[in-house]
Amino acid sequence: MGTEYALLVAPSANRVYTQSAPDLTRAELAAFSAGALEGRLGPATPRDLGGQTYLVFATEDPLTSEDLAVLGNLSSGLALYELVPGDLLRPIRTSALDKFDDDLITIPKYSGKTNENFTKLLLNVTALASAWAGDFGSRTFTVLDPVAGRGTTLNQALMYGWNPIGIEIDGKDLDAYAAFLKTWLRRKRIKHSADITPVRREGRKLGRRFDVEFTSDDRRLTFFEADTTQARALMKRQVADLLVADLPYGVVHGSRTSKGLERGPAELLSAALPGWIELIRPGGAVGLSWNTHVAPREQAVELLERHGLAVLAPIGLEHWVDQGITRDVLVARRS
Ligand SMILES: C[S@@+](CC[C@H](N)C(=O)[O-])C[C@H]1O[C@@H](n2cnc3c(N)ncnc32)[C@H](O)[C@@H]1O
């Protein structure tokens, strides 16, 4: 029967997300198992232990320290225990890739921000769908968020020690992100250089770019203010291992009414996808989330397949966000 483990799911700040968190974590565990742990985790099932719901799963052999260094990166895992006969819980120490204090991700608060746990989940399942899933804990992935907003994905990628690239059409978002990151890096005494410069091609201004280079290693972050349909003109082919995007919701978000240029997600996807795909290395993966009220899943699948991507079967990540938004996730691999 092997070893049984019980995972306590973290209470999220967002009440609505909390209701879906156990289901989403179950799907995420399955993705970790298939992608990085050779399918060694049995299916997870919810179990009530002393009034708390845990996700319980079994393995044939006990988890190794390498396994625990991967599972420590689950987006909603609070604590992991070994289930000892007699309903006793033995705490298990996991480790995470985290390179920085978590206020890098929690401090920014703004209307239209993608939930932090969800952003980490989307990044995880995308990395786990790539050809390098087995190197989850060791590869320095380059992650492109082509609709980056104020940078939740970029900050999560930085947190993992990976190299983020963002594209965002709204210059105010670039300014807000640059101001936040520069202040945060200075306050944490992390040595770096940072610059905002114009981007021109053939004498035409395409936008601006914000670059950060870390002094301690060769990691870097690049954030472009540009229309993502022009992504191909901004950088070289095949620069990214992963493309992760929480697409515009097709609804007005609070104060974000200045976005006259914003298109619906299906329209944006069909205009931007050919350029995006050229930026991904073969073996790389795409993870998209979007509002199913404005574009059905089949339409998104058809679009990705038409552009030569292999779409993974639904992995159970659809969830309710609010009255106007039901969010689903599509993950695909570039061959
Ligand atoms: C759902 S939001 C992403 C939020 C982001 N994940 C965050 O947490 O800040 C989608 C973003 O896509 C941007 N966007 C819409 N159309 C775009 C385009 N053509 N080019 C680049 N960005 C675009 C919007 O301005 C918006 O910031």
Element (H, E) at 165: strand 163-168
Ligand 1 interacting residues, C-beta cut-off 6 A:
112-114, 147, 149-153, 167-170, 173, 227-229, 246, 248-249, 259, 262-263, 268
Q: Which atom of ligand 1 is nearest to the CA of 268?
A: 19
- 169 Cα to the center of ligand 1, angstroms: 7
**Which residues, in sequence order, are bridge partners of residue 225?**
168, 208
Least confident of 6-15, 41-50, 179-188, 229-238: 6-15
Alpha-carbon gap, residue 127 to 286, rounded angstroms:
9
Q: How confident is the model at residue 296 (pLDDT cuts 50, 70, 90)?
A: confident
Domains of the chain are: 3-92 (3.30.70), 103-334 (3.40.50.150)
Across 281-303, average pLDDT: 92
CA 272 to ligand 1 center in whole angstroms:
13
Instruction: Measure 247 CA to ligand 1 centroid, in angstroms.
Output: 6
Q: Are 88 and 6 in contact (CB under 8 A)?
A: no
Atom of ligand 1 minimally distant from the CA of 119 = 6
Protein residue whose Cα sits closest to atom 14 of ligand 1: 147
Give the integer Cα–Cα distance in Å for 38 and 25: 18
Confidence at 251, pLDDT banded by 50, 70, 90 = low
Residue whose C-alpha is closest to residue 222's, from 275, 159, 165, 145 = 165
- Statement: residue 4 has pLDDT above 70: yes
Measured CA to CA, the distance from residue 320 to residue 280 in angstroms comes to 30
Closest atom of ligand 1 to CA, residue 167: 21
Share the mean pLDDT of the chain. 92
CB count within 10 Å of CB 296 equals 12
Per DSSP, what are the bridge partners of residue 195? 211
Q: What is the pLDDT of residue 201?
A: 87
Q: What is the pLDDT of residue 130?
A: 98
Question: Left, alpha or beta for 271 (phi > 0: left; psi -120 to 50: alpha)?
Answer: alpha
Q: Which of 262, 270, 273, 288 has most ligand 1 atoms within 8 Å of its beta carbon, as the pocket-test mutant?
A: 262
Residue 103 near residue 116, CB atoms below 8 Å? no
pLDDT of 307 reads: 92
Among residues 123, 160, 170, the alpha carbon closest in space to that of 144 is found at 123
Q: In 10 A of CB 201, how many CB atoms?
A: 10
Question: Distance between CA 111 and CA 259 in Å, rounded?
Answer: 13
Instruction: Enter the tokens of residue 86.
Output: 């007699």
pLDDT tens, position by position, 109-122: 999 999 999 999 99
Q: How confident is the model at residue 181 (pLDDT cuts 50, 70, 90)?
A: very high
Q: Which residues of 159-185 are buried (b: 16+ CB within 10 A; e: fewer)?
A: bbbbbbbbbbbbeebbebbbebbeebb
Question: What is the rounded average pLDDT of the residues 164-179?
Answer: 98
The pLDDT of residue 223 is above 60: yes
pLDDT tens per residue across span 193-210:
999 999 998 888 889 999
Q: Is the pLDDT of residue 310 over 70?
A: yes
Scanning the structure block, which residue is given the tokens 């993608």? 114
- Confidence band, pLDDT 50/70/90 cuts, at residue 192: very high
Highest mean pLDDT among 85-89, 175-179, 257-261: 175-179
Interatomic CA distance for residues 142 and 162, integer angstroms: 6
Residue 259: pLDDT band with limits 50, 70, 90: very low
Beta bridge partners of 328: 290
Q: What angle do CA 327, 16, 24 make, to 5 degrees?
A: 60
Confidence of residue 262 (pLDDT cuts 50, 70, 90): low
Structure tokens at 98: 């985290």
The alpha carbon of 178 and the centre of ligand 1 are apart by a number of angstroms equal to 16
Question: Any idea of the CA torsion for 63, 65, 71, 76, to the nearest 10 degrees?
Answer: 110
> What are the phi and psi torsion angles at 224 (to 5°)?
-100, 135
Residue of minimum CA distance from atom 16 in ligand 1: 262
Average pLDDT over residues 73-87: 93
User: Cα(145) to centroid of ligand 1, in Å?
Assistant: 9
Mean pLDDT value across residues 9-23: 76
pLDDT (average), residues 239-261: 70
Single out the residue of 319, 313, 318 nearest to residue 129, CA to CA.
313
Ligand 1 midpoint to CA 45 (Å)? 35
With a cut of 70, say whether residue 254 has pLDDT above it.
no
Query: Could you tell me if residue 77 is left (phi over 0), alpha (psi between -120 and 50 degrees) or otherwise beta?
Result: beta
Four-residue CA torsion sign, 8, 10, 15, 19: negative
Residue 260 has pLDDT above 80, yes or no: no
Pocket test for ligand 1, best of 109, 167, 168 (most atoms within 8 A of CB): 168
> In this structure, are residues 170 and 263 in contact, taking their beta carbons and an 8 Å threshold?
no
Q: What gap in Å lies between CA 248 and CA 290, rounded to an integer?
A: 7
What's residue 293's pLDDT?
A: 86
Helices (H), 243-293: 265-278
